[in-house]
Structure formats: structure tokens, C-alpha cells
């Protein structure tokens, strides 16, 4: 763990490493309520109730992957909390690309995927107030590092991947963690000082959905089909519908449809 935080200036300098926990999100929230500092990091070898978006479980076997949460104190004025999912996805993707030459992309709004669209990493952002009323963001990240195809549950083999599968070799997990933390720290500082525009530019280069025909299912169950066309200045998905109109969406579940025509510029 010490080596993992050597790359950062402040992120993760206060950390906890747990052999087993329910979820790093739960532990980080408890720590913040007890007085954790800005940038506190919780890492676990194994999660018994790891979760992703919409309360879904996250496959969390011991000794194979990375499961961690960073606790960040929000300034009084900051971009929308929803854009932190994109920030984390970009930070993870850029770290894995630059340090390990992994061909990975960001899938709106919470995933990092391989070029075939299989999920490599998931992100869960939660906002809450501490005892003094200060606003915090918990960014939980799970990265599949050293799982083999055979170790993935049968129901996940067509939709999930790992760095070992992508690169054909095992990686030192805490080296991966260190590169991600350094990238996350840099992007957080840009987010605070410059807003979402740098994120939008980076996302445009890493957007796995761009130009693809997709189906979007909203939390209320309504469905839309169209061609993904990047994100707005608020981090919303831009979707060009069949009639040529463009609509923006803040949340929803994305699935690919038949290959679509390129999106309008």
C-alpha cells in the first residue's frame, strides 16, 4: 500500500487496508463520519457485499482485483456531482492506457470497457453530508485485474473482462492502484479548477458509445432508441432519436442495438 500512494501529492495519504469488508463504500462513509481527512482511501482484499449502480452486486473475489473508495470533500461551488462518474472513468482509462498500454474506453456513465465492450471497471459515486453538514463524495472503483476467463462466473464471461485477459499477463495490483490514484488526483484538481470542459474533451477521445445505436432505459422504465452523440456540458448523454431530434439524459441503462449510422457532428 505504501508504494501505491507514492505517486500522489495528497490523495490516499491517509488509508485503510482491510482483508475483508462488506464494501469499501460502507467503510469510507463510516470513516468520514468519524473524522476522515479529505482524500482518505479505503482498499479491501475482498468484499462480501460489493455493489455497483442501482444496488447491483459486484463480483469481488479475494486476491485478484482492486476494490477501493476515495472520500473527497466537495467545495462550496463545484460541477454537478453526476460528472464525477465520468471523471473517475476517464482517470481509470487514461492510467491503464498510458502505463499498461491497455486498449480501454469509457462507457457512459459508469463503466470502463475493453474494445469489445466487455466491462473492466465499474464506478459508484455517492454524495452525503458528514456530521457537520459538509458535503462529501465517495468514489468507489472496482477494477478486474488478474481474473482469467475461467475464473469469471459463467453469467459474466460475455460481459466482463480483466487486465490479464486484455494484456495476456498478470499485473501487480498495487502498481495498478498507484497509477489510477495519481490520475484520479490530477483529474480532481482539474475538475475543481476548470469544471467539466477538460473532461468533455478527454471523454470525446475515449467514448465507446459514440456513433453507436443504443437503447436507453430510464430509471422510470421508459425506453428510447437512438445514436449516442457524446455528452453535454453537464455530463448528460446526448442521443439522436430516429426522427433526427436530439435529447439529453442524466441517467439510464444502455444496451447496444444493431449498428447505427454515425452521429451528427
User: Catalytic residues, which ones?
Assistant: 53, 119, 257
The 10 Å Cβ neighbour count of residue 87 is 26
Q: Which three cell numbers stand for residue 130?
A: 458528514
DSSP per residue, the chain: -TGGGTT-SSTTSSEEEEEEES-HHHHHHHHHHTTPPTTEEEEEEEESS-B-GGG-B----TTTSEEEEEEEEPPSS-S-TTHHHHHHHHHHHHHHHHHH---EEEETTTEEEETT--EEEEEEEEEEE-TT--EEEEEEEEE--S--TTTS-GGGTTTB--HHHHHSS---HHHHHHHHHHHHHHHHHHHHHHTTHHHHHHHHHHBSSTT-EEEEE-TTS-EEEEEEEEE-TTSPEEEEETTS-EEEESS-EEEE-SPPPPPP-
- Partnered with residue 111 across adjacent β-strands are 107, 122
Amino acid at each position: 500500500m505504501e508504494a501505491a500512494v507514492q505517486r500522489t501529492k495528497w490523495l490516499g495519504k491517509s488509508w485503510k487496508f482491510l482483508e475483508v469488508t462488506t464494501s469499501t463504500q460502507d467503510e469510507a462513509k463510516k470513516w468520514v463520519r468519524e473524522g476522515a481527512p479529505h482524500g482518505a482511501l479505503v482498499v479491501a482484499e475482498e468484499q462480501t457485499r460489493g455493489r455497483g449502480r442501482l444496488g447491483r452486486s459486484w463480483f469481488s473475489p479475494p486476491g485478484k482485483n482492486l476494490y477501493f473508495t476515495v472520500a473527497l470533500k466537495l467545495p462550496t461551488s463545484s460541477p454537478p456531482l453526476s460528472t464525477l462518474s465520468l471523471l473517475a472513468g476517464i482517470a481509470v482509462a487514461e492510467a491503464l492506457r498510458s502505463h499498461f498500454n491497455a486498449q480501454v474506453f469509457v462507457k457512459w456513465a459508469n463503466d470502463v470497457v475493453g474494445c469489445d465492450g466487455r466491462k473492466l471497471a465499474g464506478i459508484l459515486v455517492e454524495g452525503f453530508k458528514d456530521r457537520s453538514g459538509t458535503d462529501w463524495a465517495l468514489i468507489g472503483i472496482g477494477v478486474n485485474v488478474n481474473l482469467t476467463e475461467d475464473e469469471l462466473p459463467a453469467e459474466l464471461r460475455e460481459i466482463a473482462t480483466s487486465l490479464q485477459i486484455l494484456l495476456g499477463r498478470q499485473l501487480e495490483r498495487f502498481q495498478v492502484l498507484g497509477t489510477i490514484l495519481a490520475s484520479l488526483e490530477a483529474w480532481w484538481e482539474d475538475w475543481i479548477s476548470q469544471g467539466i470542459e477538460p473532461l468533455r474533451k478527454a471523454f470525446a477521445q475515449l467514448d465507446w458509445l459514440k456513433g453507436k445505436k443504443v437503447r436507453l432505459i430510464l430509471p422510470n422504465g421508459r425506453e428510447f432508441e437512438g445514436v449516442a452523440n457524446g455528452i453535454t456540458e453537464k455530463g448528460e448523454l446526448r442521443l439522436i432519436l430516429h426522427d433526427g431530434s436530439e435529447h439529453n439524459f442524466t441517467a439510464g441503462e444502455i444496451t447496444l442495438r444493431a449498428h447505427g449510422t454515425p452521429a451528427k457532428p
